[in-house]
Amino acid sequence: MTQAIADVLIIGAGASGAAVAWSLADTRMRIVCLEQGGWMNPADYPSTRRDWEPRQWTDYAISPNVRRLPADYPINDTDSPIAIANYNAVGGGTILYSAHFPRFHPSDFRVRSLDGVAADWPISYADLEPYFAHNDHHTGVAGLAGDPAYPPHEPPLPHVPLGLMGETMGRGFNALGWHWWPSDTAIATREHEGRDRCANLGPCNTGCAKGAKSSADVTYWPLALRAGVELRTHCRVREITVGANGMARGVIYYDEHGVEQRQDAEVVIVACNGVGTPRLLLNSVSPLFPNGLANRSGLVGRNLMLHPWGNVQGVFDAPLASHYGPQGSCMLSQQFYETDVSRGFVRGYNMQIVRGNGPIATARAAMWNGQLPWGEGHHAAFAKLYDRTINLGICCEDLPEAHNTVTLDPDLTDSNGIPAPKITYRLSDNSRRMLEHGLAHGAEVMRAAGATHIDAVGPIRMAGWHLLGTARMGSDSETSVVNEWGRSHDVRNLFIVDGSVFVTSGGVNPTTTLQAVALYIADRIKQNLANLFD
Amino acid sequence: MPTRDHLIGTDAVLTTSQRRAFDCVLDLIVPPSPDGRMPGATDVDVLHYLLESEPASMPTLRGELNRLETDAQLRFGAAFADLDPHARQRLVNSLRLDDPHFLRGLALHTVTCYYQHDRVLAALGIEPRAPYPLGYEVKSGDLSLLDPVRRRGRIWRDAGDGTAGPAA
């Protein structure tokens, strides 16, 4: 069945799709968005129930291969030391993200010029700065102005509480003379744009029942819907179709009843992120594009970047109330963010202070790593761990390498029979050296803060949250998939606005940069409407 | 879902010998604390939790309990539950030494059940409630701790892109 033609068709209702939908809505064009998941009901989030902790390993697991919900598609990530995380719903991955929201640095867009590696972006921090500011306002970003690791900016909301745990780590960083700062966080710490303030429920990474965490379903989507955007849920796109003129014609998708539908559009915008986007393009084969849509460069699915992640856990002698408060957001250190070649690697990493675990996660993790014995020593060992742990995440900048790929699995399919993605990924030597440095220095600051027992582990397998680089932007059609404003070099009415357009990965959680890029592209589309396809 | 009494009364889920061994293993994993403050895992109905939340674990569990029973008979000529506590511990230790996965799933499920039980949470001084809607109080923190960071000044790198900021 064919639906009435849309002016703009957006595929994916996550962080970038939501931002683009909102931005383009003021053009009064007919905008349709297709999302394979549904709307979340905050009343169902785990934090509303007594069994809130174990659900992070079942129906709210970060891996679609564990959740296996109807909206999920399987991902073959067996050929990667890092498993892929995502969430399929209105809001996408922001439903489960920690809302740790640091921006990329100016240097992140100039790695070739500054450090002689990878490639420069065709846009700069200065280009994105106004869009970062827009995004801070619309998402409701909490933070503290004056961070010397960043160009000046003013987070609109007060920082999330540090707690005793944050103060403890602050003293540790100070003892070493290292940078730290309350992190920019996409959490409403006071009422903002009709949303309630954070009540420190804790488990942000299984959805926020208060609506204080700025997932895209509670930020951009209400605004976009009020402005007239049509959002169709439980609609899974199989392929983007092309006409004889080489332009995208629209998509074929399966509706919530599994019935095949067709939606034509003047402009198609892909917002499925670094795994979903190349999967869709590679599934969209035609005589004009036998190797996948927009893939004449052969780069669709290549240069996958995942941010190798390390975790350092410190155990302290005194109670820290460390598991109360927004779980993944408190403070960061960018002492080792910018390049210093004397460290043995180029580029750098972010240290993200993460709160301690609840009682179940404390017990399970400690039992797994041998800290919590069976038998008579059990209770004493638990008492030494619970409420006395602090975690520190090491987020390493991952440089693009063509052999790290998203391809189509020859056998695996989703519930609609659409070929599933296959991940092939190896850590580079640079990433390994960076991760080792991060784990060692994470342990050092834990000791300085007073930790009496420290475990440093990496790369963490279940940490493939950041999916970047698989349809990168650039001015040269031989070395990039889209141009500097997200338009495909090969298909002039096809745009990509998600993490797959990232040229490099930076060393921080990418969501605010991803949304700033999406808003930037949307603005460029609006500025060029009269000659968009020239 | 059958009731707990039904399960125990009819051995519909575990045989009598499996059930006796099961309770002994729970007692090895999390015994009551000597001062009586903390209950043991046998006090928090782990079996009901397994049936409700982890039913896929039951075939493995039955096999592991059978293995305990078989080895107890072979080595000691007695049922696992009839061994003295030290012999039970030695037997379990030797099996876990041979196979680190032996009873690992049960141990993880046991602590998952145990540390959400009202009696356990109360003993730990944790309010037995969902985080929502009340949430928790967390102190904002002493921002004067940032003074040394401010004094050291800018550390971000100039990329030559015109981004404005104080001199490095």
CATH number at residue A95: 3.50.50.60
Mean pLDDT of A353-380: 93
Partners of residue B29 in chain A, C-beta under 8 Å = 374-375, 378
Tens digits of residue pLDDT in B39-88? 999 999 999 999 999 999 999 999 999 999 999 999 999 999 999 999 99
Name the percent of chain B lying above pLDDT 90.
88
Q: How far is CA A349 from CA A160, A238, A310, A529, in A?
A: 22, 37, 10, 39
Residue A7: inside a domain, yes or no?
Answer: yes
Question: What residues of chain A, 114 to 143, have a C-beta less than 8 Å from chain B?
Answer: 114, 124-127, 129
What confidence score (pLDDT) does residue B165 get?
Answer: 64
Q: How far is CA A187 from CA A40, A140, A451, A463, in A?
A: 18, 6, 29, 21
Question: What residues of chain B, 37 to 56, have a C-beta less than 8 Å from chain A?
Answer: 38, 53
CB contact under 8 A, B138 and A201: no
Q: Which two tokens stand for residue A349?
A: 């990493």
What confidence score (pLDDT) does residue A83 get?
Answer: 98
Confidence of residue B7 (pLDDT cuts 50, 70, 90): very low
CB contact under 8 A, A386 and B132: no
Per domain, the residue ranges of chain B are 4-124
- Mean pLDDT is lowest, of A42-46, A54-58, A242-246, B161-165, for B161-165
Average pLDDT, chain B: 91
| Closest Cβ–Cβ partner in B116, B137, B159 for A53 | B116
Secondary structure of residue A393 in the 3-state scheme = strand
Look at residues A320, A317, A393, A368 and name the one whose alpha carbon lies nearest to residue A163.
A320
Q: Is the ipTM of this complex over 0.90?
A: yes
What confidence score (pLDDT) does residue B163 get?
Answer: 84
Confidence of residue A328 (pLDDT cuts 50, 70, 90): confident
Tens digits of residue pLDDT in A192-209? 999 999 999 999 999 999
Residue A385: inside a domain, yes or no?
Answer: no
Is B152 touching A (CB cutoff 8 A)? yes
CB contact under 8 A, A170 and B146: yes
Phi-psi region of A325 (alpha: psi -120 to 50; beta: other; left: phi over 0): left
Confidence of residue A416 (pLDDT cuts 50, 70, 90): very high
C-alpha triplet B113, B115, B117: angle, nearest 5°: 70
Q: How far is CA A206 from CA A55, A161, A209, A354, A446, in A?
A: 8, 20, 9, 15, 27
pLDDT at position B116 over 80:
yes
CB contact under 8 A, A163 and B138: yes
Burial class of A206 by CB neighbour count within 10 A (0 to 12, 13 to 18, 19+): buried
How many of the other CB atoms lie within 10 Å of CB of B158? 16
Residue A221: inside a domain, yes or no?
Answer: yes
Residue A428: inside a domain, yes or no?
Answer: no
pLDDT at position A2 over 90:
no
CB contact under 8 A, B115 and A202: no
Residue A447: inside a domain, yes or no?
Answer: no
**According to the 3-state scheme, what is the secondary structure of A446-465?**
HHHHCCCEEEEECCCCCCEC
| Closest Cβ–Cβ partner in B30, B112, B153 for A378 | B30
- The tally of domains found in chain A comes to 1
Question: What residues of chain A, 316 to 375, have a C-beta less than 8 Å from chain B?
Answer: 321, 324-325, 334-335, 337-339, 359-360, 362-364, 367-368, 372, 374-375
Is B94 touching A (CB cutoff 8 A)? no
Q: Is-contact A379 A366, C-beta < 8 A? A: no
Overall pTM surpassing 0.80 (yes/no): yes
CB contact under 8 A, A363 and B114: yes
pLDDT at position A1 over 90:
no
- With residues binned 3-state (H G I as helix, E B as strand, rest as coil), the percentages for chain B, rounded to 5, are 60, 0, 40
pLDDT at position A397 over 60:
yes
Tens digits of residue pLDDT in A36-63? 999 999 999 999 999 999 999 999 999 9
CB contact under 8 A, B163 and A201: no
| Closest Cβ–Cβ partner in A47, A151, A338 for B163 | A151
Q: How far is CA B70 from CA B67, B78, B95, in A?
A: 5, 9, 12
* Closest residue in chain A to residue B104, using alpha carbons only: A368
Mean pLDDT of A424-439: 98
Is A52 touching B (CB cutoff 8 A)? yes
Shortest distance, CA B146 to any CA of chain A (angstroms)? 7
pLDDT at position B4 over 80:
no
Residue A355: inside a domain, yes or no?
Answer: no
What confidence score (pLDDT) does residue A125 get?
Answer: 97
Is B100 touching A (CB cutoff 8 A)? no
Beta-strand relationship, A453-457 and A309-315: antiparallel
CB contact under 8 A, B133 and A372: no
Name the percent of chain B lying above pLDDT 70.
90
Number of helices (H) and strands (E) in chain B: give both, helices first: 8, 0
Partners of residue A202 in chain B, C-beta under 8 Å = 131, 136
What is the spatial distance between Cα A496 and Cα A485, in angstroms, rounded to a whole number?
9
Residue A416: inside a domain, yes or no?
Answer: yes
* Closest residue in chain B to residue A106, using alpha carbons only: B159
* Closest residue in chain A to residue B165, using alpha carbons only: A151
What confidence score (pLDDT) does residue A369 get?
Answer: 86
CB contact under 8 A, A48 and B107: no
Is B87 touching A (CB cutoff 8 A)? no
Is A47 touching B (CB cutoff 8 A)? yes
What confidence score (pLDDT) does residue A534 get?
Answer: 87
Name the percent of chain A lying above pLDDT 70.
100
CB contact under 8 A, B136 and A200: yes
Beta-strand relationship, A494-496 and A260-270: parallel
Place of tokens 């742990």: A389
What confidence score (pLDDT) does residue A262 get?
Answer: 97
Q: Would you give the distance in Å from CA A308 to the centre of its chain?
A: 13
Backbone CA torsion sign across A163, A166, A171, A172: positive
What confidence score (pLDDT) does residue B12 get?
Answer: 64
Is A197 touching B (CB cutoff 8 A)? no
Q: Is-contact A430 A397, C-beta < 8 A? A: no
Residue A89: inside a domain, yes or no?
Answer: yes
pLDDT at position A306 over 50:
yes
pLDDT at position B5 over 90:
no
Name the percent of chain A lying above pLDDT 90.
97
pLDDT at position A136 over 60:
yes
